[in-house]
């Protein structure tokens, strides 16, 4: 089946620290991969995406590379800010599954000043 | 600007009462989805619709109902059969093979 596994949180970092949130997936077919961010009390916003192997998605200083050989799509940022505190969701979609998104459980990020 | 609008932002339901959550999009997206999110939890799919006048159950459809009479609208009714409806409800729409656009959510509380 199709599933996404994210590292458990919360992840607590100091401002300007390096961030990695791990995401691995299993998929029937060739998935597209996504990272979404949810700020408190709000809906989810698309952060970045990648549609084929070795693609790198990037936005607002965040990056993730589609690694087919390790079935991974880890989220990274070189220097986090307090304003990055949010919940981050990794997700995949597969055409054979009607392109519905399959979400990971989410990882809470807390950044301290 | 195109987007997806959920209303109301906060909703209170009495025991045994049905309530309807609104979701409207002007993005001309074919597919629409309803998710439930409990505190500290991920997203669980309630219902989805990939075309007007057609919809399918998701993973936790019991106690919920939907309709899709127009492309722009996908209202969710939380019925009295849903025994634990207090949650944050998220609506999303999708253009084929792209990611979702989410609304800002409705927080439903049973009083």
What is the signed CA dihedral for B46, A43, A101, A103, rounded to 10 degrees?
A: -90
Contact A99 B31 (CB under 8 A): yes
Interface check for A80 against chain B (CB to CB < 8 A): the answer is no
Asked if B76 contacts B89 with a C-beta cutoff of 8 angstroms, the reply is yes
Residues from chain A contacting residue B45 (CB–CB below 8 Å): 100
The chain A residue lying nearest B95, using CA atoms, is A99
Nearest by CB: B105 against A36, A42, A105:
A42
DSSP three-state, residue B106: strand
Report yes or no: A105 at the B interface, CB cutoff 8 Å. Answer: yes
pLDDT in tens, chain B (111 residues): 679 999 999 999 888 899 999 999 999 999 999 999 998 778 999 999 999 999 999 999 999 999 999 999 999 999 988 889 999 999 999 987 678 899 999 999 988
Query: What confidence tens digit (pLDDT) does each residue in A56-99 have?
Result: 999 999 999 999 999 999 999 999 999 999 999 999 988 777 77
Closest-CA residue of A relative to B10 is: A41
Contact B77, B37 (CB under 8 A): no
**Which residue has tokens 């459980």?**
A105
> How far apart are alpha carbons A19 and A4 in whole angstroms?
19
Across the interface, of A32, A45, A105, the residue whose CB is closest to B42 is: A105
Instruction: State whether residue A13 is helix, strand or coil.
Output: strand
**In the predicted model, is pLDDT for residue A107 greater than 80?**
yes
B90 vs A: CB within 8 A: yes
Q: Which residues of chain B lie closer than 8 angstroms to A43, CB-CB?
A: 6, 90, 92, 102-105
What was the pLDDT predicted at B97?
65
Structure token pair of residue B2: 């195109």
Give the model's pLDDT for residue B1: 64
Q: Which two tokens stand for residue A91?
A: 């997700």
Whether residue A8 is predicted with pLDDT greater than 90 in this model: the reply is no
**Interchain proximity A103–B101, CB inside 8 Å:** no
Asked if A43 and B103 come within 8 Å (Cβ–Cβ), the reply is yes
Q: Is B33 on the interface with A (CB under 8 A)?
A: yes
A23-35 pLDDT tens trace: 999 998 899 999 9
Nearest CA in chain B to A33: B99
Q: Which residues of A touch B42 (CB under 8 A)?
A: 89, 103-106
């Amino acid at each position: 089946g199709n599933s996404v596994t994210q590292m458990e949180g919360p992840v607590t970092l100091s401002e300007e620290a390096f961030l990695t949130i791990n995401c691995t997936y299993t998929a029937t077919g060739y998935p597209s991969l996504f990272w979404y961010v949810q700020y408190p009390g709000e809906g989810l916003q698309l952060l970045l995406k990648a549609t084929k192997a070795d693609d790198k998605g990037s936005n607002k200083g965040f990056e993730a590379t589609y690694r087919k050989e390790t079935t991974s799509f880890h989220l990274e940022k070189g220097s986090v800010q307090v304003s990055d505190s949010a919940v981050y969701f990794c997700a995949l979609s597969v055409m054979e599954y009607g392109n519905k998104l399959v979400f990971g459980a989410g990882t809470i990020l807390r950044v301290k000043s | 600007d195109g987007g997806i609008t959920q209303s109301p932002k906060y909703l209170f339901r009495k025991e045994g009462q049905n309530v309807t959550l609104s979701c409207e999009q002007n993005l001309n997206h074919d597919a629409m989805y309803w998710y439930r999110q409990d505190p500290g939890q991920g997203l669980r799919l309630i219902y989805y619709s990939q075309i007007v006048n057609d919809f399918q159950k998701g993973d936790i459809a019991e106690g919920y109902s939907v309709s899709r009479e127009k492309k722009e609208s996908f209202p969710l009714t939380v019925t009295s059969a849903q025994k634990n409806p207090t949650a944050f409800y998220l609506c999303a729409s999708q253009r084929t093979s792209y990611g979702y656009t989410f609304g800002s959510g409705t927080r439903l509380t049973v009083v």
